[in-house]
Amino acid sequence: MFNIIIFGPPGAGKGTQANFIIESYGLKHLSTGDMLRAARKSGTELGNRVAAIMDSGKLVSDEIVNELVEEQVLNGGDEKGFIFDGYPRTVAQAETLDAILAKVDAPVKGVLFLKVPNEELIVRLLDRAKKQGRADDNEESIKQRVEEYNVKTLPVAKYYEEQGKVVDVVGLGTIDEIQGRIAGSLNKL
Ligand code: B4P
């Protein structure tokens, strides 16, 4: 199994680039953000519990997202591999992911770290707010998401750097240019 993490701050282009990786490499997309939004939309008890947390820009509890991911990986069937998008977002989640993948004997192969300056992130997310109307794309929530990222999520990069698995990708430029860089990095893994 070829398991990849796409990592970066909110608005870095993780979801955008994950779509290209799924198509080109036949991996299964596992986006905790999408899974949580789907739970909200279908009005499940879990969805109702996480809605306010997501809208405020805070992270949902490790327990909830770890459970969602474990269920998908262990019941995934015959996948070629997964692209984890928006997960892990804390070191505790990264440790859990390693433990889940140990059960299927298929560790994380590499972490693509999309690097985008803060000013650009804000522009992208406010632009998405206009186009898609996502409840957490407002100035207050974006500030909170960047803060959560800096405090809780950045240490995840260090965790995987210590395992020698992080590949930096410049996340500025057109979507196609970034795809080209990602393809180059993936071919080296
Ligand atoms: P996510 O859905 O993961 O939201 P995100 O960080 O905003 O990333 P996304 O993938 O949507 O954006 P992208 O960078 O592709 O999480 C939402 C919330 O769910 C979290 O705040 C949290 O509450 C909860 N959550 C999810 N996972 C969790 C976890 N593991 N633990 C705890 N809580 C969790 O793109 C952003 C915008 O930029 C798009 O509009 C795109 O079109 C644009 N864009 C992309 N590439 C571009 C480029 N090259 N140039 C210009 N624009 C570009």
- 69-84 residue pLDDT tens: 999 999 977 789 999 9
Give mean pLDDT, residues 124-140.
92
Whether the per-residue pLDDT at 41 is higher than 80: the answer is yes
* Residues with catalytic roles: 14, 89, 128, 134, 145
- Please provide the DSSP assignment of 119-182 as one string: HHHHHHHHHHHHHH--TT-SHHHHHHHHHHIIIIIHHHHHHHHTTT-EEEEE--S-HHHHHHHH
The mean pLDDT of the chain is 95
pLDDT at 76: 78
Q: Is the pLDDT of residue 151 over 80?
A: yes
pTM of the entire structure?
Answer: 0.94
d(CA 110, CA 108) in angstroms, rounded, equals: 6
Mutate which of 7, 16, 142 for ligand 1? The one with the most ligand atoms within 8 Å of its CB, which is 16
What's the CA-to-centroid distance between 166 and ligand 1, angstroms? 19
Residue 104 pLDDT > 90, yes or no?
Answer: yes
Predicted local confidence at residue 49, as pLDDT: 94
CA–CA separation, 110 and 188 (whole Å): 10
Compute, in angstroms, the gap from residue 34 CA to the centroid of ligand 1.
9
Give residue 144 CA to ligand 1 midpoint distance, Å: 13
pLDDT digits (tens, 9 = 90+) for 152-171: 999 999 999 999 999 999 99
Q: What is the mean pLDDT of residues 79-91?
A: 96
Contact predicate 73/28, CB 8 Å: no
How high is the pLDDT of residue 32? 98
Residues 8-13, mean pLDDT to the nearest whole number: 96
* CA-wise closest residue to 67 among 28, 100, 95, 105: 100
